[in-house]
């Protein structure tokens, strides 16, 4: 089995990460900080890391702290100074605690050398350092949007928090980020406090070669997990066993975690779009949508497959699936720098009309409007974009989900999703390697 050949590679990455110092080279992080400095020449940016979990779950760093500093240490604070063109990292952790948390002792002993950040100070020095640093003209930039953990998406997290906490008449608390903004305004009334979230989203939009390499690894591990589930699928198998298998393959293969909760939809659960209750036992006629991805080193992947529980497509299943594959081929053949998703969507619309379909049907909306595009992918599986317009030209380094979704009826839907990156002369399907055609899927599942 191909997974057995890939497993040592992913395990080496996973075990190496336990004591790793930084995911990328120091220059990668320095370049990101310098680009942020370019956007804040009149001030400083304060990026706060995650605190230790209240329970016994392992510590996970916020994505923005990982993006600019690469440190997996609780309660770290990074100041990126656009006026002085330097950065300062604050944290405090003793060696015994660091060893127990699998944090590099070299990083704790000599953070300036390991991270390449110009200055290090203990966490306890942050308040006085900030007070001494600020002049009346210095603008204080900090993210206003919620920070993301692995498996979270910034604005989706904010909307849920707003609905259940901030706008709740029996609660009303601010997010951690907006509470920090309120305290900054209270303590430093002479300084403007501005939102640097848009700057960060813009920087994270285009991925470097190093980032793409990690997303490729995450995508390939996801491919192996999808193949394992397809091999294990047959009538009579509980969905919960397949969900457990998907996670087991990802985690044993070196994933930091799942990029999002694994979605398994069958029968009438197709209607929900993101169903993950795993409450059915598969039947002979079930058509399954599996949507899942691994996260490696804080970078996500997103892959979807659609296949029959029996291993044999019905005529209805084949018809909608092959239409989706046809649209997928059109989209992926057109992805390249300089073209817009709007143009690709128009090409899909023309093809559907040539085939006799009504391209205005709701089921074709994503195909004809977005050219197969669903969302950006990066440190969040729904990576945020600043002022993204489907009419803007695609750029090299843009990573996204080509997600072909459609329905023939209430129990026959498809999702054929790939993680894609725009290259200098076209695109690369980072999640290549899955059986995709009807013939390939039936042959792959034949001996289940």
Indicate whether 224 and 84 sit together in one domain: no
Beta bridge partners of 313: none
What is the DSSP track for 279-326? --B--TT-EEEEEE-EEETTEE--EEEEEETTSS--HHHHHHHHHHHH
Strand pairing report for 119-121 and 86-90: parallel
Compute the distance between CA of residue 112 and CA of residue 70 in angstroms, rounded to an integer.
Answer: 12
* Domain that includes residue 46, residue range: 19-204
What are the φ and ψ backbone dihedral angles of 307, each rounded to 5 degrees? -160, 155
Compute the distance between CA of residue 253 and CA of residue 39 in angstroms, rounded to an integer.
Answer: 39
1 found inside a domain = no
Indicate whether 285 and 424 sit together in one domain: yes
Indicate whether 186 and 267 sit together in one domain: no
Domain boundary residue among 169, 204, 239?
204
Length of the chain equals 448
Please name which of 251, 341, 245 lies closest in space to residue 295, comparing C-alpha atoms: 251
Indicate whether 138 and 238 sit together in one domain: no
Biggest distance spanned by C-alpha atoms of the chain: 72
Indicate whether 128 and 240 sit together in one domain: no
Compute the distance between CA of residue 305 and CA of residue 370 in angstroms, rounded to an integer.
Answer: 20
195 found inside a domain = yes
Domain boundary residue among 204, 237, 259?
204
Indicate whether 119 and 30 sit together in one domain: yes
14 found inside a domain = no
Compute the distance between CA of residue 291 and CA of residue 418 in angstroms, rounded to an integer.
Answer: 10
Beta bridge partners of 80: 45, 87
Indicate whether 181 and 230 sit together in one domain: no
Indicate whether 218 and 355 sit together in one domain: yes
CATH number at residue 245: 3.90.230.10
Dihedral in degrees, nearest 10, Cα atoms 169, 175, 178, 183: 90
Indicate whether 198 and 252 sit together in one domain: no
7 found inside a domain = no
Indicate whether 98 and 28 sit together in one domain: yes
pLDDT per residue of the chain (448 residues) written in tens, 0 to 9: 344 434 444 444 443 443 357 999 999 999 999 999 999 999 999 999 999 888 888 889 999 999 999 999 999 999 999 999 999 999 998 777 776 667 778 888 899 999 999 999 999 999 999 999 999 999 999 999 999 988 888 889 999 999 999 999 999 999 999 999 999 999 999 999 999 999 999 999 999 999 999 999 999 999 999 999 999 999 999 999 999 999 999 999 999 899 999 999 999 999 898 999 999 999 999 999 999 999 999 999 999 999 999 999 999 999 999 999 999 999 999 999 999 999 999 999 999 999 999 999 888 887 888 999 999 999 999 998 877 888 999 999 999 999 999 999 999 999 999 999 999 999 999 999 999 999 999 999 998 8
Indicate whether 160 and 213 sit together in one domain: no
9 found inside a domain = no
The total of structural domains in the chain comes to: 2
163 found inside a domain = yes
CATH number at residue 149: 3.40.350.10
Indicate whether 155 and 242 sit together in one domain: no
Domain boundary residue among 204, 234, 259?
204
C-alpha radius of gyration, the chain, whole number: 23
């Amino acid at each position: 089995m191909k997974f057995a050949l890939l497993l040592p590679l992913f395990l080496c990455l996973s075990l190496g990460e336990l004591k790793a110092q930084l995911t990328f080279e120091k220059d990668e992080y320095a370049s990101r900080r310098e680009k942020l400095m370019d956007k804040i020449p009149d001030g400083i940016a304060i990026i706060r890391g995650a605190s230790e979990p209240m329970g016994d779950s392992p510590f996970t760093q916020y994505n923005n702290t990982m993006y600019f500093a690469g440190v997996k240490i609780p309660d770290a604070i990074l100041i990126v100074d656009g006026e002085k063109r330097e950065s300062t990292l604050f944290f405090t952790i003793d060696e015994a605690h660091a060893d127990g948390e699998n944090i590099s002792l070299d990083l704790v002993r000599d953070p300036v050398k390991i991270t390449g950040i110009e200055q290090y100070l203990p966490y306890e020095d942050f308040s006085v350092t900030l007070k001494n640093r600020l002049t009346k003209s210095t603008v204080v930039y900090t993210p206003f949007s919620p920070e993301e953990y692995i498996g979270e998406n910034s604005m989706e997290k904010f909307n849920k928090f707003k609905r259940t906490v901030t706008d709740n008449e029996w609660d009303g608390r601010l997010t951690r980020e907006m509470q920090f903004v309120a305290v900054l305004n209270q303590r430093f009334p002479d300084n403007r406090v501005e939102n640097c979230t848009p700057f960060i989203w813009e920087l994270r939009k285009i991925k470097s070669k190093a980032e793409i390499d990690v997303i490729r690894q995450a995508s390939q591990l996801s491919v192996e997990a999808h193949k394992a589930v397809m091999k294990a699928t047959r009538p009579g198998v509980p969905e919960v066993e397949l969900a457990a298998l998907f996670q087991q393959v990802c985690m044993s293969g070196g994933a930091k975690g799942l990029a999002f909760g694994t979605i398994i939809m069958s029968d009438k659960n197709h209607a929900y779009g993101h169903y993950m209750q795993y409450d059915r036992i598969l039947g002979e006629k079930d058509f399954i949508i599996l949507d899942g991805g691994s996260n490696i080193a804080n970078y996500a992947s997103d892959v979807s497959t659609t296949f029959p529980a029996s291993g044999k497509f019905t005529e209805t299943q084949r018809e909608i699936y092959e239409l989706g594959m046809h649209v997928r081929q059109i989209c992926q053949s057109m992805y390249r720098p300089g073209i817009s998703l709007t143009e690709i969507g128009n090409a899909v619309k023309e093809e559907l009309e040539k085939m006799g379909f009504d391209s205005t049907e709701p089921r074709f909306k994503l195909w004809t409007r977005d050219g197969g595009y669903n969302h950006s992918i990066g440190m969040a599986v729904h990576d945020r974009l600043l002022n993204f317009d489907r009419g803007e030209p695609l750029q090299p380094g843009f990573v996204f989900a080509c997600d072909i979704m459609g329905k023939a009826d209430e129990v026959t839907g498809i999702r054929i999703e790939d993680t894609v990156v725009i290259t200098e002369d076209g695109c690369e399907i980072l999640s290549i390697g899955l059986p995709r055609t009807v013939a390939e899927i039936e042959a792959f599942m034949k001996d289940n």
